Amino acid sequence: MKPFSAQDLADATSGELYGIAPDTQLSAGVVTDSREVAAGDVYIARRGDHRDGLDFAPAAIDAGAALIVAEAVPSVDGERLPTLVVQDATEALGRLARLNVESLRTSGDLTVVAVTGSAGKTTAKDLMGDLLSAAGDTIWPPKSYNNEVGVPLTALRADESTRFLVLEMGARSIGNLTYLTSLVTPDIAVELMVGTAHSGVFGSIENTARAKAELVESLRPGGTAVLNADDPHVRAMADVLADGVDVLWFSASGRTHVEGSEAPVVAATDVLTGATGRPSFTLSIPGGDAVPVELALLGEHHVANALAAAAVAHRCGLSERAIVTTLRTSGAASRWRMELIDSPSGVTVLNDAYNANPDSMRSALKTLAAMGRGDAENPSRRTVAVIGEMLELGDDSRQAHADVGELVVRLNIDRTIVVGDGARPAFQAAELEGSWGNEAVWVPTIADARDLLRNELQPGDLVLFKSSNDAGLRYLGDEIAGVTVTP
């Protein structure tokens, strides 16, 4: 965070100071977890569903916090702790983020990049962070810090040395992105895709598109919308942009132009995924040459994420050579996203169970099949798919899971284990599609899947874990891979 006085923070949050001089300078970090407090930090004592951050204020002060932001004044033995009292601590966190970013924009050269989409946000922002780091100090969030807490916390990590601030923004309802962008208005807004991943939450894919469009509608004058030319719902967002906002398209299907638009396109052609699982393609950047690229990431669905990141880097002035070099070497920075782990037992785990939707499920299964087939340099391997429920699909859920069951048969996956009631249509469809013997099986619980895998897996097997986050398969994947489980 840029240095501010305690009074600056009070003014920004409409709060009142207790136990601290108004001219006290605060220039360290801002945290919401008392266990993460370092000397000089501001601790935001939020009220959660199960815990009240105010209870941990004394521990935060003991750890070195200079100021507590809370909805009441905490005390120890009758002595008030240094506190900024606000009406709502979470809202105050957002206001502090706005203060920090607006001040940095006034005094420096800060570019804010925000990315949203029904899938791929975390991988895309990690790639963007890697790419932009070559051009200047860059801040981007760890993990999936994409809500009303994570976005402000990331923005508050920026200081006078920060050249680029990359933010991941998620939407759980219409209005979420409007709120987040009111705190940190982007210079560049990236729309990856509008899928069926959250249709059960929004009610329809049209409502999902409406919610995602709030990001590009928020762009600052002179900003740039980086849009997926292959997604019709994203293409339509070009019609809601304010005057003076530019468009830069990206396309994983080889589009070189978009009908009705003269804006340039960052494109991939000749996309292939071989036995390594790493997609290769020919990259075309406006004004540059066509260059072959093989990603360090696994899975064909990452081609679109890489193109979006390349478009942002191009817009920010990076050379084609710098972009290509980073794309060839930048691996997964966040866990459980096509994470490849060779276990001590000789089994190879492909853990992609942080999130799931029909598109990413198809891509993960196709990658599993391609890696299992092998090639001249890589032996063929037995493939095992452990599939859990794709959540939040609403009325489309049963058919979406049935489509997965049909696909595993068509891809000749050797063994499919479907876990849980919600995913059961995948097993039923696999049987109808022609699965025979014990190629496909349904089990009700993760414990049942664990028992099956421990009895059946052999050295050399390649096993994919794929489900939505709350289905919990990522932790089973860790167990099979021999990774310490940290739920």
| Portions of the chain given CATH number 3.90.190.20 | 339-481
pLDDT digits (tens, 9 = 90+) for 459-482: 999 999 999 888 889 999 999 998
Lowest mean pLDDT among 21-30, 199-208, 268-277: 199-208
- The percentage of residues in the chain with a pLDDT greater than 70, rounded to a whole number, is 97
d(CA 387, CA 341): 18
Total length of the chain:
487
Taking the complete model, does pTM exceed 0.85, yes or no?
A: yes
Q: What is the pLDDT of residue 373?
A: 92
Q: What is the pLDDT of residue 487?
A: 45
Please report, for residues 120, 124, 329, 438, the alpha-carbon distance to residue 334 in angstroms, rounded to integers and kept in the order given. 11, 11, 15, 34
| Portions of the chain given CATH number 3.40.1390.10 | 4-86
3.90.190.20, 3.40.630.30, 3.30.565.10, 3.40.50.10800: which CATH number matches 339-481? 3.90.190.20
Residue 197: band (very low, low, confident or very high) from pLDDT cuts 50, 70, 90: low
Residue 195: band (very low, low, confident or very high) from pLDDT cuts 50, 70, 90: confident
Q: What is the pLDDT of residue 142?
A: 84
| Portions of the chain given CATH number 3.40.1190.10 | 109-329
pLDDT at residue 100 above 50? yes
Contact 385, 464 (CB under 8 A): yes
pLDDT at residue 409 above 60? yes
Residue 2 amino acid letter = K
Lowest mean pLDDT among 105-114, 148-157, 302-311, 354-363: 354-363
Q: What is the pLDDT of residue 349?
A: 95
Question: Mean pLDDT, to the nearest integer, of 395-415?
Answer: 93
Lowest mean pLDDT among 183-187, 238-242, 393-397: 393-397
Reply yes or no on domain 109-329 having CATH 2.130.10.10.
Answer: no
Residue 443: band (very low, low, confident or very high) from pLDDT cuts 50, 70, 90: very high
pLDDT at residue 437 above 80? no
Contact 420, 447 (CB under 8 A): no
Question: Mean pLDDT, to the nearest integer, of 373-387?
Answer: 92
**Mean pLDDT over each residue of the chain, to the nearest integer:** 92
pLDDT at residue 445 above 90? yes
3.30.360.10, 3.40.1390.10, 2.115.10.20, 3.30.1360.200: which CATH number matches 4-86? 3.40.1390.10
260 CB-near residues (< 8 Å, 6+ apart):
none
